[in-house]
Copies of this chain bind each other. A is one copy, B any other.
Amino acid sequence: MSNSGDGLEQEPDDLPSARPRKRATGRATIADVARLAAVSPMTVSRTLKDPTLVTQELRDRVMAAVAELGYVPNLAAQTLASARSNIIGVIVPSISNSVFVETLAGIRDCVSVAGYQVIIGETLYSADQERQLLSTHLGRAIDGVLVTGIDLHKDVREGFARRNTPLVHMMDLSPDPDALSVGFSQFAAGEAVGRYIVERGYKRPALLAAQLDPRTMKRREGFQHALEEAGQSSFVEILTPNPSSVGLGGQLLSRLLGAHPDCDVVFCGNDDIALGALFECQRRGIPVPGKLAIMGFNDLPFAQYAVPSITSVTTPRYEIGFQAAHMLLRQIDGIAPERNCIDLGFHLTCRESA
């Protein structure tokens, strides 16, 4: 027979004319382990999944064989056979936005102990992109999804529901009682800033915001609402859909000062904008907060170290990621959550800049 040496199998020495094994990857399979340990493949599978199902003796033999062969389970095969991928998808607007970094850390810390892997998808703040990502995720047969924000097209949500793929929203609280969400009220956070500004006696507030995602806009609404409630109905605002950055913060502040040089406080949509605004003030010699107060949002790590330190709204980003992931995993395991909506709150951290 001409087909010798094709399958590189040394042990199985009977049947010299063994079938040619059409396609083999060359890596050790569960069958190889089983053969070496002289047990059935099922016993190997059980040993690896739940050792208590197997007697000590067989377990030891299997583990030895696994070690000897350097066996690594083929996850695609596991997924196909068990209809569980042990992958969860995470949709964030942008990983370059430091805000999500801690959320991702929380997610990772929660799911990694449970043996799950994470696939991150970036929407770059585009709803279309988000749609497409979620569709790809369905192809991967992921076990669940964490989505930033609560503004998901209803049909997409229903698509997941129909397929029984759990989905948890992060960062904001969903008004839909059926939706699972972990976060804090973006509206209330904006409101808190507005109230603070009123309390402190600032008279001519301004709002600078970039990357106008739904959460930013909700904070804006809350901000507006608080001012109106205090009878201070008007405020200046400069908005741009561009992605936020320190540089952009400087530009926005310049535009603001050009149009309204008499502002006495700016609420910046996030800390990057706030830092950029602060730098611009320094460059122009404008005293902060003496002449112009600055407030940020999220309380990124640098906010407390800036000079002056930046007053900002501290958000539980790590905790949101962790709890959302936790809720998702429980949902995957079919455990209903106690509450569908977990509010982790926020608090305004008062520092030197306002």
Contacts and interface: CB of A to CB of B under 8 A. Distances in A.
Interface stretch (A169-177, A226-234, A302-310): A302-310
A21 B68 CA distance: 37
B74 A141 contact: yes
Contacts of A77: 76, 80
User: So how many copies of this chain end up in the complex?
Assistant: 2
Given A80-B80, A83-B23, A279-B305, A72 B139 contact: yes
B95 A98 contact: no
Contacts of A98: 96, 98
Nearest to A105: B96
Given A76-B80, A80-B74, A141-B76, A302 B275 contact: yes
Interface string A156-168: 0000000100000
A247 B140 contact: no
Contacts of A45: none
A98 B305 CA distance: 18
A126 B27 CA distance: 27
A288 to B, nearest CB: 12
Interface residues of A, number: 52
B139 A73 contact: yes
Contacts of A72: 135, 138-139
Interface in A199-255: 245-247, 249-250
A25 B83 CA distance: 7
A40 interface: no
A301 B26 contact: no
Nearest to A247: B305
A101 B108 contact: no
Nearest to A79: B76
A122 interface: yes
A104 B95 contact: yes
Interface in A250-276: 250, 272, 275-276
Which interface residue of A74, A76, A272, A279 has the most chain B CB atoms within 10 A?
A: A76
A117 B136 contact: yes
Which interface residue of A101, A141, A272, A305 has the most chain B CB atoms within 10 A?
A: A305
A75 interface: yes
B279 A27 contact: no
A32 interface: no
Contacts of A246: 301-302, 305
A343 interface: no
Which interface residue of A163, A245, A302 has the most chain B CB atoms within 10 A?
A: A302
Which 3 A/B pairs are nearest by Cβ-Cβ distance? Answer: A76-B79, A282-B307, A246-B302
Given A76-B77, A118-B120, A249-B305, 12 more contacts: A25-B83, A72-B135, A74-B80, A76-B141, A95-B95, A95-B101, A95-B104, A119-B119, A245-B302, A246-B305, A247-B301, A272-B302
